[in-house]
Amino acid sequence: MRKLFMPTDRIGLESYQKSISNNFKAINELLERDMPIMWHINGIQFESTPAWPEGHYYQSGFSIEDSTAARDVFAERGIIYEEVEIPHSKGRLLKKIKTAVYSGRGSDDDFSAPLLEVLKWGGFDHSFVNDADIRGGKMRNFDVMIVPGSPDAGECYYAGLGDRGYDAIRSFIANNGHYLGVCGGAYLPLTSYNTENRYWLNIVEATDTEDLDYWRSGSGFVRCRIEDNKHPIFTSMALGVSSTINIVYWEGPSITIKGSNVKSLAHFESLLASGRDPLKPHWSMYDNKMSEDAVRGWYNPLTPDIFTNLLLGKTAFAEAEFCGHKLLLYSPHPEMGNIGYGPRKDSLNFLLIYNGLMYLAS
């Protein structure tokens, strides 16, 4: 079947296209028009294309049926595309999703703001849900729940949601949709083996062995080793069997897998920089003020000893399943972007947010 194919290959730290966020804005515009879109991950080989008559391999991309409307969106956004033949079975069919972003008492504005900015840049529409909305059953209207970072290890969520709110979130994931949690949001679904901890949902067979001691680790710039390079969240990032991510870490959970309904996708491998000698960063971070604060200015810097004792080898990115629905748990902060290789707006790490939502929508 003749399709328009939009490659999204990674070239160094950039995209084959002019902008990573622009890619997803175009796709979301097409989804809003109810156009069926296939997401192609882990490579696709063409025997011949207009640009490559001898054949070509693309790392990843999106395809859509040829139409004037699709061509207009691609032209408006400056998207590079090819006219190709693609079997329908060669990709993941995307659908529009209704996304709720938690904005209750446990939501920290400092961490929510950059995530909301990234969603806006990528064209991901969302609604806010506060504590009263969740307790009142409003989550049944959504497909995905996003919980941004928080100022602690989960107790702040309970302060606004209580037992009824927690039950509503469990019911949502069990019966309605999927979950994406970053930092504090990655703590929330964990299981505590301490009966005094009432502040986690206890739906994922994984824990943080330090329980509610959020302050013990600090902030810094870390490298994570990808364990499953074929997983959709790493599309256009992990191009080989051995791949890593350099990313901001800010007191997120050190996840220990305990059961079969959760798997590790990437683990903490090394500490690259923090606000304490000899690891103070010496380079410019361009316009990335929040990442600069995390790595250079936060009062509680991540040290080599703390990294070795609490994070080394522990899970940084995980996927879990609960009653047939998916949970993505990100301990570090992809929404804070890269550190040191250019302006924040088109950070490669944003793909972890964008790909994660596309994965939950496919």
Q: What is the pLDDT of residues 84-136, one digit of tens each?
A: 988 767 899 999 999 999 999 988 777 789 999 999 999 999 999 999 999 99
Averaged confidence pLDDT in the chain? 94
Q: Are both 164 and 304 inside the same structural domain?
A: yes
Instruction: Calculate what percentage of the chain has a pLDDT beyond 90.
Output: 81
Residue 102: beta bridge partners? 129
* 66 shares a domain with 110: no
Measured CA to CA in angstroms, residue 107 lies from 92, 157, 160, 291, 343 at distances of: 32, 8, 10, 19, 26
Between the alpha carbon of residue 134 and those of residues 2, 30, 54, the distances in Å are: 44, 30, 55
Task: Give the pLDDT confidence of 317-332 residue by residue, as tens digits.
Answer: 999 999 999 999 999 9
Residue where a domain terminates, one of 94, 111, 128: 94
- 176 and 289 in a single domain? The answer is yes
Confidence of residue 337 (pLDDT cuts 50, 70, 90): very high
What domain range includes position 229?
Answer: 99-360
pLDDT of residue 88: 65
- Nearest by Cα to 187 from 135, 215, 159, 152: 152
- Show the tokens assigned to 302: 């991540």
Q: Global pTM?
A: 0.97
pLDDT in tens, 274-317: 999 899 998 988 898 888 988 998 999 999 999 999 999 999 99
Same domain, yes or no: 154 and 87: no
- Asked if 229 and 191 count as a contact pair (C-beta separation under 8 A), the reply is no
CB 256 within 8 A of CB 299: no
